[in-house]
Amino acid sequence: MKQFFAFVKKEFFHIWRDKQTMFILLGMPVVQIVIFGFALTNEVKNANIAVLDYSKDAATTSLISEFNASRYFDVEKNLVNYGQVGKEFKKGKIKLAIIFPPNFNEDLQHFNKAQVQLIADASDPNVANTLTGYASAIIIDYQNRITSNRKLPYTINTEMRMLYNPQLKGAFNFVPGVMAMVLLLVCTMMTAITIVKEKEMGTMEIILVSPMRPQIVVIAKAVPYLLLSVINIISILLLSVYALEVPINGSIFLLFFESILFILVSLSLGLLISAGVASQQTAMFISLVALFLPTLMLSGFMFPIENMPLPLRTMSNIVPAKWYYSIVKSVMIKGLGIKDIWKETLILFGMMIFFLTMAIKKFKIRLA
């Protein structure tokens, strides 16, 4: 045990002396969670819009004020004629145009109906759909207010509730996904170069003659990265709660336990890569390139797995980030307990045992 702690201390010294490694371990997760949390979002806010108001009555004035007061829209232009609409879209200064026909208020009062034309820039279809949805919601809300005292025939009222994320904030989806991506890539990348680095630096011979067993060497190399990753978890959660306003609705102790389990999976995968390659460049390539795309595309936080073909859905089951992402959303956002996530927990535990066992076997072969 004394030799084990001495080896762990040696690894800490190696990490501490390498300032670039320290930045990658402690600085990169914080930078990524801030950048992804604020920039990578499916929300559309402060979109510039143009208004062409042929009516200029009390109803259109009130509606335009509501659009301008919304956090989703900024009225950039008040147009004079229809020909200006296409010109403004070509300039790229607006994302949506709202056109009120003549006699808008009169039609609304006398015929109980009026038309509004919404023209969106569909070069980005997701943004176009989102903006037209926001605009339609504002118009429907205004309509409900002015018709609340009237008894219209066959009126159907629809009540909507958004569970877990009433304000539809994108951070509620992206924070768990970024946590999974950052922890997997950083932990795997750092440990992927540990064993192969010993060979390239010529210190593998010292390990060969040391009395320590191979499995102890492998575990000792992972311990410093485990402790530093726990610091990353704390910093990420603090930023998520206080900077991105993402609540922790479930047990924080369960969230920490699952995060540490996922860190162990990532470290074990990194050790397996390190034990199976011959150079640091290969280890870095596999941990960054070969893991980044599956983590980004098959974990479920960027693209819904349910919409993918069967082969990709099957392949996603071997991506550890998919299961951790599901766990974080269940505990952090939905407030669920261990009885609801025990299957995902067992899968991650099985992955950790498999990766660590294979890493120790390959390390024994390398020492033979």
pLDDT of residue 40: 63
Interval 59-69: pLDDT, tens: 888 888 998 88
Interval 62-105: pLDDT, tens: 888 998 888 889 888 888 888 888 888 888 788 899 999 888 88
Here the contacts of 302-305 (C-beta below 8 Å, separation 24 or greater) are 302/177
Q: What is the pTM of this model?
A: 0.77
Interval 253-266: pLDDT, tens: 999 999 999 999 99
Question: Strand 96-100's sheet: what is its strand order?
Answer: 73-79, 47-53, 96-100, 117-120
